[in-house]
Amino acid sequence: MSGASWLQLLAVAVLVVGGTRLLGPYLAAVFGDAEPVDGAGRAEGAPRRSSAPGDRLFAPLERAIYRLGGIDPDREQRWTSYALSLLAFSGASVLALYALLRLQAVLPLNPTDAPAVPAPLAFNTAVSFVTNTNWQNYGGELAMSHLTQMAGLAVQNVVSPVVGLCVAVVLIRSLARRRIELVGNFWVDLVRGTTRVFLPLAFVAALVLVSQGAIQNLHGFTTAHTVAGGTQLVPGGPVASQEAIKELGQNGGGFFNANSMHPFENPNPITNLLQVVTILLIPFALTYAYGRMVRDQKQCWVVFAAMALLLVGSIALATGMETRGNPELTARGAAQATQSGGNLEGKEVRFGAAGCGLYSAVTTGTSTGAVNCAHDSMTPLGGLAPLANMMLGEVSPGGTGSGLYGMLVFVLLSVFIAGLMVGRTPEYLGKKVQAAEMKLVVLYLVVVPATVLSFAAASVVLPSARSSMLNTGPHGLTEVLYGFTSAGNNNGSAFGGLSGNTDWYNTTLGLSMLVGRFLLIVPVLAIAGSLVRKQRVPATSGTFPTGTPLFAGLLTGVVLIVVGLTYFPVLSLGPVVEHLGL
């Protein structure tokens, strides 16, 4: 790699660590309790929230929203009521966005005369954006009106990551509180996450993007006359505002079909660096907030270290394989090792092979799914890195909230395994991890792989589904596997060789997104509901310490082993075989 590429990696590391330290305490103040909560002998009512920076600015706006929505901010919910509120909000969001997509042709702010979105594609798109997946079976500049982009897709880009954030906050509270059944108020958490976290940060990020050349207007297509005497249609639209929240909320759905390869979305290396940092900022900052809220900062750094170790490994694999070049070209005399490019097929030359490796690892280690290069054109092992990231459940560091609660599920599994090894009842932060929690952990771990592998198997057998594959053999299998892995893990990136805009793929990918979102959220909330009622037991000499480098290594190993046992057979038939055949 070049010196500039190494400098970019160093800048990302410094900015992410610094951002974690700055934003983490703020998130803890926004969602944390003012004091430790023990339900034994306490008066009825919601625990008192801690004060947070910006109360004088945000509190009046939030009170107005609560009055408008009939929300009592002082009333908390049990996990079942919290889950029902979340599901109701998400269901209403799917219906509203579906209606907007179907009716956009007769609604205002449609300067490009975008037609109504067909029903199967509208279902897929509505589910995709509500589940924070942002899978796109369409070209945004051609298929969507500006009203749909702003009032539909951009709104979901804000609230869908806040929903994931709410679930993570509930799980943290369940570990911090004891002997109580209340886990928070979904509507209060939703409002505070929107007004205090995402909208201010997205506003700042959008201004920076505009300053660097990202467009922000309400134009349709502008006709440009070329020097050769021809004409070209140049698209316009509210791009910077969409781009900011697309990265900040780990959404990934681009205004343009080319996503972050398009210069109107990602004009230069500065915006590329900004996008990488904003993608990683909140997921890593949440680990610090977690340590603050459970009042044990060692736990924060264990989770942070495990996430960072997995991310660094995927960056090394993707970047190393792409900068190394294509062995087939080397065998034919191309001096790839001596040029700065590496494997440049499907790359945006402004960012190069190293920029592709970094960006692809970051957007699939989170739930973003944005792309600044064509993943389908990566080398077999280079393409394995983003695929494996998603198979990990996107916990390196994962999406907003979903990455943290996914890693905490692996933490519970790890302490259970450690407890069995030492012959003691497993404990985490003083709370016993028992059969009820482990059944929910197992459900969490198996439901997505079962869905992904089942739909992928059906797709490579059914003739109608196979017709959407550009390639056959190992690479064709990888295209299909990548698509369902991306949908099931709510990522949204794709191998471009798979034509997904068919009734089969619109339906099955949409179902995969629903399973990957809500059949994971409900078990996590149930785990929280079980843990929050438990009393903390004091640590003894036999308690397995979880705030050490040893536990960070155990946690990382458990993640790799569980995922490896699940997916290695199919990976060996896809990218591994393809690499061995070069």
552 or 496, which is more confident? 552
Q: What are phi and psi of 184, to 5 degrees?
A: 130, 180
Tell whether the model's pLDDT for residue 329 goes beyond 80: no
| Residue at token pair 């439901």 | 447
| Residue at token pair 């992904």 | 452
Compute the C-alpha angle 81/185/176, nearest 5°: 100
CA 531 to chain centre: 25
Calpha distance 94→489 (Å, rounded):
18
The DSSP code for 260 is G
Identify the band that residue 541 occupies on the pLDDT scale cut at 50, 70 and 90: confident
Note the residue count of the chain: 582
- Res 292: pLDDT: 95
336 or 375, which is more confident? 375
- Res 425: pLDDT: 80
Which tokens in the block code for residue 436?
Answer: 């009820």
- Res 41: pLDDT: 52
CB 64 within 8 A of CB 329: no
Calpha distance 298→258 (Å, rounded):
42
Tell whether the model's pLDDT for residue 45 goes beyond 90: no
Calpha distance 16→205 (Å, rounded):
15
- Res 14: pLDDT: 97
Identify the band that residue 440 occupies on the pLDDT scale cut at 50, 70 and 90: very high
What mean pLDDT is predicted for residues 357-381?
95
Return the amino acid letter for 368: T
Calpha distance 398→401 (Å, rounded):
8
Considering the chain, what is the average pLDDT of its residues?
93
Of 181-195, 325-339, 384-398, 505-519, where does mean pLDDT reach its minimum? Answer: 325-339
Q: Angle, to 10 degrees, between the axis of helix 199-211 and the axis of helix 239-248? A: 130
Which tokens in the block code for residue 100?
Answer: 């907007």
Calpha distance 383→76 (Å, rounded):
45
CA 528 vs CA 170, 249, 302, 397, 525: distances in Å: 7, 23, 20, 21, 5
- Res 3: pLDDT: 85
- Res 300: pLDDT: 96
What mean pLDDT is predicted for residues 372-396?
95
- Res 40: pLDDT: 65
Calpha distance 378→357 (Å, rounded):
9
- Res 356: pLDDT: 95
Which residues are within 8 A (CB) of 543 and not within 5 positions of it... i.e. 6 or more apart? 424, 427
Write b or e for each residue in 507-527: b if 16 or more Cβ atoms lie within 10 A of its Cβ, otherwise e: ebbbbbbbbbbbebbbbbbbb
Question: What is the CB neighbour count within 10 angstroms for residue 453?
Answer: 18
DSSP state string for 321-356 = HHHH--HHHHHTT--GGGSS-SS-TTB-TTTHHHHH
Tell whether the model's pLDDT for residue 483 goes beyond 80: yes
Which tokens in the block code for residue 341?
Answer: 């490019």
Which tokens in the block code for residue 174?
Answer: 């369940």
Which residues are within 8 A (CB) of 334 and not within 5 positions of it... i.e. 6 or more apart? 325
- Res 47: pLDDT: 80
Tell whether the model's pLDDT for residue 105 goes beyond 90: yes
Q: What tens digit of pLDDT does each residue of 206-231 get?
A: 999 999 999 999 999 999 998 988 99
Identify the band that residue 333 occupies on the pLDDT scale cut at 50, 70 and 90: confident
Q: Is 227 helix (H, G, I), strand (E, B) or coil?
A: coil
Tell whether the model's pLDDT for residue 274 goes beyond 70: yes
Strands 427-428 and 431-432: antiparallel
Return the amino acid letter for 551: F
Return the amino acid letter for 189: D
Return the amino acid letter for 280: L
- Res 117: pLDDT: 97
Calpha distance 272→352 (Å, rounded):
12
